[in-house]
């Protein structure tokens, strides 16, 4: 929804396609809001429902693509210059590679595809600005190294809020519940990322993401607990200086930065 807000507030941006898993009602509403000509739904039954109901939402001319093939078609649509990739899990690997192989610039929000296929994606990273990070921490690193010589970077520091369980004792950790894991102290995110944040698993993935995105050895990627989530990442250079990107915890900032990169 935050991406929709960014697009809606920037009339110079044009969306030519939207993809979703099975929430056909939401994607049709978004298509109507943004005047999008094509949507794709991974779930074939959801695509059928969307086709049957689009006329009731005054979307008679909307083209609806179905299944994994339909989503893959959207990922390399000729009319698109930039593709926002936010597919969770391993399902996103094929779509990420399809977009890159078709010459798209990719705004990457779904880190699992890069983590699981880093060696395959690496050649595209080396081409420069083909992959623009939307994760707040990696966008912060990307912003800090603009205009700098990559060889001058000594190490980077990713920050972590610590998630919902950061202040609990070992004894208290033995009684936690799934609902507690969803109570993130600073960020408003989807349930999967929120739970991964509570266990710090998400931060492990982000370390791997930084390794592939910026070509850094793992011993050059540090993590620091920063409860306020104001400093999103820091880059320390070999001369001892450090640059940091600071902002309120709001994903609309890294999403907006993609437009100007």
| pLDDT tens-digit readout, 156-183 | 999 988 777 778 788 888 888 888 877 7
- Is 97 a residue whose pLDDT tops 90? yes
Q: Which among 171-175, 225-229, 241-245 has the top mean pLDDT? A: 241-245
Mean pLDDT of 49-61: 95
Q: What is the pLDDT of residue 188?
A: 67
207-223 pLDDT, tens digit each: 999 999 999 999 999 99
pLDDT higher at 51 or 261: 51
106-152 pLDDT, tens digit each: 999 988 888 989 899 888 888 877 899 998 999 999 999 999 999 99
Residue 261 binned pLDDT confidence (cut-offs 50, 70, 90): low
Q: Does pTM surpass 0.95?
A: no
Question: What Cα–Cα distance (Å) separates residue 54 from each residue in 33, 34, 63, 108, 195?
Answer: 13, 15, 10, 29, 35
Instruction: Name the 3-class secondary structure at 46.
Output: helix
Residues near 175 by beta carbon (within 8 Å), at least 6 away in sequence:
none
Q: Where are the beta strands (DSSP E) in the chain?
A: 18-20, 38-41, 63-66, 82-85, 105-108, 131-133, 153-160, 221-225, 231-237, 242-246
Q: What is the pLDDT of residue 49?
A: 97
**Angle formed at CA 249 by CA 248 and CA 250, multiple of 5 degrees:** 100
Structural domains of the chain, ranges and CATH numbers in brackets: 2-136+252-260 (3.40.50.720), 141-246 (no CATH)
């Amino acid at each position: 929804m935050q991406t929709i807000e960014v697009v809606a507030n920037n009339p110079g941006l044009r969306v030519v396609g939207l993809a979703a898993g099975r929430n056909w009602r939401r994607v049709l509403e978004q298509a109507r809001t943004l005047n999008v000509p094509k949507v794709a739904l991974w779930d074939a039954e959801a695509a059928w429902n969307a086709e049957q109901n689009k006329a009731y939402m005054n979307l008679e001319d909307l083209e609806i693509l179905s299944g994994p093939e339909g989503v893959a078609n959207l990922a390399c649509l000729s009319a698109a210059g930039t593709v926002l990739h936010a597919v969770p899990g391993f399902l996103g690997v094929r779509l990420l590679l399809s977009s890159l192989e078709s010459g798209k610039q990719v705004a990457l929000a779904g880190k699992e595809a890069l983590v699981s296929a880093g060696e395959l994606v690496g050649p595209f990273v080396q081409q420069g600005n083909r992959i623009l990070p939307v994760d707040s921490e990696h966008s912060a690193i990307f912003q800090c190294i603009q205009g700098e010589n990559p060889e001058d970077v000594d190490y980077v520091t990713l920050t972590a809020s610590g998630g919902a369980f950061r202040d609990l004792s070992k004894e208290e950790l033995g009684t936690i519940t799934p609902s507690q894991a969803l109570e993130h102290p600073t960020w408003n995110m989807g349930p999967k990322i929120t739970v991964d944040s509570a266990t710090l698993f998400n931060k492990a993935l982000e370390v791997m993401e930084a390794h592939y995105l910026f070509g850094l050895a793992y011993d050059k990627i540090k993590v620091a607990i920063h409860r306020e989530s104001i400093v999103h990442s820091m880059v320390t250079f070999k001369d001892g200086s450090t640059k940091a990107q600071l902002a309120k915890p709001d994903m609309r900032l890294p999403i907006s930065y993609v437009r100007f990169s």
